[in-house]
Chain A
Amino acid sequence: MKLQKATVFALYAVLELAAQPERQQTAIEIAEKYGISAHHLAKVLRDLGRAGLVDAVRGVGGGYRFTGNAKRLTLMDVIRLFEDASNDAEGPSPLTADQEAAAGLRFVLAELDAQIGATLRSISLATMLKLIARRPWESAAPEQARRTMAAARRR
């Protein structure tokens, strides 16, 4: 699953803000930490505000704070705000009866979609914050750790 930039930025933002719900953080602070566009992040934060997940505090010392329920809000809930989370494997058009290879491929890709969806629906922000605190990627198998860090660098 390839997430759009806005989705990834939204996940960074809600996780940063949910980690310290009493603290207000600006778009610039979060953007600098992750090396991403503050302008783009500000737009994402406005979308998160409209969804009721963050609250904007204006004025000196202002910023954003998390207002959602970290135990109930899942990664999929956030992703759905920015992505069409429908089945990627469905393809743009219906298949004809003789397009067996395409039908078979869609069947296998649907299996992957189902797995990805179940995973994203099962991880709440609170669970994600516990996972981040444990830093399991540091003790993961070398190949998985290498892929995790390579993916982080690409972002």
Chain B
Amino acid sequence: MVQQAVNRPSSEGEKLDVIRPASLADVPGVIALDEEVTGLLKTDYWHDMFERFGARRGESRFFLVAGPPRRIVGVIVGEVRAWEFGSAPSGWIFAVQVRARQRLHGLGSRLFDAVCARFRAAGVYSVRTMVARDNAEIHAFFRSQGMMAGPFIELEMRLD
């Protein structure tokens, strides 16, 4: 069963569902997970993300993963942002992924809870994200965590 696989220690003695800050050794596993989920290989993007949110994480940037380096099964990335368009400090989540075989067993919720706990520890009491309107799956995930429409509206236009 998938649930047992998630909780069973790997051959390296590590649990797949332990959530921890990412290290440089995790980046290839994150790239592989992202490629599996999105179908796109984004090597430079994830190395840059790690550099900004993992290596220079400080007290307000969080790059968390689940699973041992070669078998990353979940990732979430966020940071505390403040005063953009007058917004008081708030947590921002801008990436979350769980390997397909590990879904529906609460790992996404635990990643969400873990980053929210860090936001609270950083002194903020709201969390935001942005989802594609036609991505019902990720939209439903954030809704199931209790997220609602916030006080800002996203606007955009084509630059022809």
Residue ranges of A at the interface with B (Cβ–Cβ < 8 Å):
74, 114-115, 118-119, 121-124, 126-127, 130-131, 134, 136
In the complex, what residues of A have CB within 8 A of residue B139's CB? 118, 121-122
Q: Is the CB of A124 within 8 A of B144?
A: yes
> B143 within 8 Å of A by Cβ?
yes
Total chain B interface residues with beta-carbon distance under 8 A: 10
15 further interface pairs, Cβ-Cβ under 8 Å (given A123-B143, A124-B144): A114-B133, A115-B133, A118-B133, A118-B134, A118-B136, A119-B149, A121-B139, A122-B140, A123-B140, A126-B144, A127-B140, A127-B143, A127-B144, A130-B146, A134-B146
Q: A118-B134, A118-B139 are in contact. Are A130 and B144 (CB under 8 A)?
A: yes
List residues of B whose CB falls within 8 A of some A CB.
133-134, 136, 139-140, 143-144, 146, 148-149
Cβ contact of B140, chosen from A124, A130, A134, A136, cutoff 8 A: A124
List residues of chain B with CB within 8 A of the CB of A122. 136, 139-140, 143
- Per the bound structure, the CA–CA distance linking A76 and B146 in Å amounts to 18
Whole-angstrom CA separation of A126 from B143 in the bound complex: 10
Report Cα–Cα, A121/B133, bound state, in Å: 10
Q: Which residues of A contact B144 (CB under 8 A)?
A: 124, 126-127, 130
Name the residue on A nearest B139 (C-beta): A122
Q: Which residues of A contact B136 (CB under 8 A)?
A: 118, 121-122
The chain B residue sitting closest to A124, CB to CB, is B140
Which residues from chain A contact B143 at a C-beta distance below 8 Å?
122-124, 127
Contacts of A126 in B (CB 8 A): 144
Give CA–CA (A114, B144) in the complex, Å: 20
- The minimal Cβ–Cβ distance linking B147 to chain A, given in whole angstroms, is 10
Closest beta carbon of chain B to A86's beta carbon, Å? 17
- Select from chain B the residue with minimum beta-carbon distance to A134: B146
